[in-house]
Amino acid sequence: MIVDFPTFEEGAEIETDLCVVGAGAAGITIAREFAGSGISICLVESGGLDFEPETQALYEGENLGLPYFDLDVSRLRFFGGTTNHWSGWSGPLNEIDFQVRPWVPHSGWPITKRDLDPYYERAQPVCGLGPYVYDERVWSLLKMKAPALDPERVAVRFWQFSPPLNFGEAYRSELRKADNVRVLLHANVTNIQTNETASTVAYLDLRTLEGKTGRITAKVFVVACGGIENARLLLLSDRVEPMGLGNRHDLVGRFFMEHPSIRCGVIAARDPYDLLDTYGKHWYKRVPFLPGLCTGDATQVREQVLNSGSKIFYEADPDSGTNAAKKILNKLAKGKMPDDLGDKIWKVMTDLDDVAVNAYRRFVEGKGTIAAPKLIYLDSNSEQAPNPDSRVMLSEKRDALGLNRANLDWRLSALDKRSLRVMTEKIGMEFGRLNLGRVRLEDWLLEEGMDWGPDLIGGHHHMGTTRMSDDPRQGVVDRHCRVNGMENLYIAGSSVFPTCGYMNPTLTIVALALRLADHLKTRFA
């Protein structure tokens, strides 16, 4: 069922077996795993079923480090969480991402890729994806010949795209119908209250924006509020532990990671159309796949770099004959006369080569059109090394609930930049070897300093702030995502990633949520 906390009486006390805070990809996944079981679930959500500016404003905070998205833009605070603006890019981390890499400080998960594989496979349909295949085998699914890249230098790994699935819309009905699930809307958790030794959570304090309060008691609590808010909530819960829960070793909020996204190279292609055909989007059983290039494992080891990835994108000439012809045809197909018809016909007539190439591609070869590529480039999705100085921390400023806001100090290191340079160079070598073209590194990448150019941005991926390690001095949660030193408090989401690879995090978030749900099922059994 779905209920609104403001309709409860002041001071209401809600009892449940399992309390999950945050109805995003992780929280909804865990709740669904228990739907129909004998375990009572309360899924607590700050927002409602739709976007509300007053609730969203609770996410405001300052960026103190590298330029970044506004913190209230980079995530969403209502039912479905940030999947409400998810773009659907998906893939698993690579095996090497889980390993201890001596050249990457603080690297190594307490679990392996193999441990997570069954959950990745289960996460595929949850996320609206196709078969659990992301490596070279995809080429044969697509009935395409694999490029002859040397995998030691540059490996091909695919992205899959979810439609994208909005978890709030996709699973609302299922959760509404589940008798044992109570989705509690407009309920902000303001404090996690523990016993005197901070070993067990006793209850959560709730508050609405209008000031109504209440509390939830449960046997087990899961915090699943996203990579920034998970840390914030632990830091805010300081009544028993002055440094915040799980923070005896000053780790909560530290090690914030993103996937630096930026143009790292341009490609002078021998055959632009052939290159874009190979590295463009392909469909297998209506699921889109996109080949990406990443630094081969052997190169990562030899060059002591991170796992960097890249897509091949292009900018089309907006004045190309093909674009003009498409606009004319689209309008005519709708029975309308195109605007500026004379201008468009002129563009077609003066760019007949491009029009002819695309007409042949479309009507003879059955391929999509590629309007006069003006610039082909490598767009990075690279791993960031764990860095304790890159962090989320509490601000002195307070939100409408009277709680300290979160500030973000995103920082990158020399290793992050060098890793991207090595990847781009290796792609250049491989493209040269295969005579696909030549690659030019961007100017900022050639400079030795820490300049990242003006276009650096992340992927709205907030990771690492409650990192996983079996050693409480190295991590906030253990291999089961249980807060180290605490008996009944768990964390779900990308904040538990000790390292982040280059792959978009949603599939791993869902896989870890499924794994956590299995762990909790055995605990309740």
| Residue ranges that bind another protein, judged by CB under 8 A | 268, 270, 424-425, 428-430, 432-433, 435, 437-443, 446
Question: What is d(CA 70, CA 453) in angstroms, rounded to the nearest whole number?
Answer: 19
Measured from the CB of residue 367, what is the shortest distance to another protein in angstroms? 24
Token pair 């390993």 is found at 99
Tally of CB atoms within 10 A around 40: 18
Q: Is 56 exposed, middle or buried (0-12, 13-18, 19+ CB in 10 A)?
A: middle
Task: Pick between residue 424 and residue 465 the one whose CB is nearest to another protein.
Answer: 424
Measured from the CB of residue 443, what is the shortest distance to another protein in angstroms? 7
Question: What is d(CA 65, CA 409) in angstroms, rounded to the nearest whole number?
Answer: 4
HEC profile of 155-172: EEEEEEECCCCCHHHHHH
DSSP string, 104-172: STT---SS-HHHHHHHHHHHHHHTT---S--STHHHHHTT-PPP---TTTEEEEEEEE-S---HHHHHH
Measured from the CB of residue 516, what is the shortest distance to another protein in angstroms? 44
Measured from the CB of residue 73, what is the shortest distance to another protein in angstroms? 33
Best CA proximity match to 75, nearest among 406, 395, 309, 311: 406
Task: Pick between residue 13 and residue 447 the one whose CB is nearest to another protein.
Answer: 447
Tally of CB atoms within 10 A around 501: 29
Question: What is d(CA 97, CA 107) in angstroms, rounded to the nearest whole number?
Answer: 8
Measured from the CB of residue 148, what is the shortest distance to another protein in angstroms? 12
Measured from the CB of residue 293, what is the shortest distance to another protein in angstroms? 14
Task: Pick between residue 62 and residue 297 the one whose CB is nearest to another protein.
Answer: 297
Task: Pick between residue 156 and residue 198 the one whose CB is nearest to another protein.
Answer: 156
Measured from the CB of residue 270, what is the shortest distance to another protein in angstroms? 7
Segment holding 300, helix H or strand E: helix 297-303
The tokens for 348 are 């077609």
The tokens for 12 are 């209401």
Task: Pick between residue 383 and residue 430 the one whose CB is nearest to another protein.
Answer: 430
Measured from the CB of residue 263, what is the shortest distance to another protein in angstroms? 12
DSSP string, 219-267: EEEEE-S-TTHHHHHHHH--SSSTT-TT-TTS-TT-S-B---B-EEEEE
Measured from the CB of residue 153, what is the shortest distance to another protein in angstroms? 9
* Alpha-helical segments (H) within 434-505: 443-446
Measured from the CB of residue 437, what is the shortest distance to another protein in angstroms? 8
Token pair 């190169």 is found at 299
Task: Pick between residue 316 and residue 441 the one whose CB is nearest to another protein.
Answer: 441
Task: Pick between residue 97 and residue 442 the one whose CB is nearest to another protein.
Answer: 442
Task: Pick between residue 90 and residue 299 the one whose CB is nearest to another protein.
Answer: 299
Token pair 């956590």 is found at 516
Task: Pick between residue 424 and residue 506 the one whose CB is nearest to another protein.
Answer: 424
Task: Pick between residue 194 and residue 424 the one whose CB is nearest to another protein.
Answer: 424
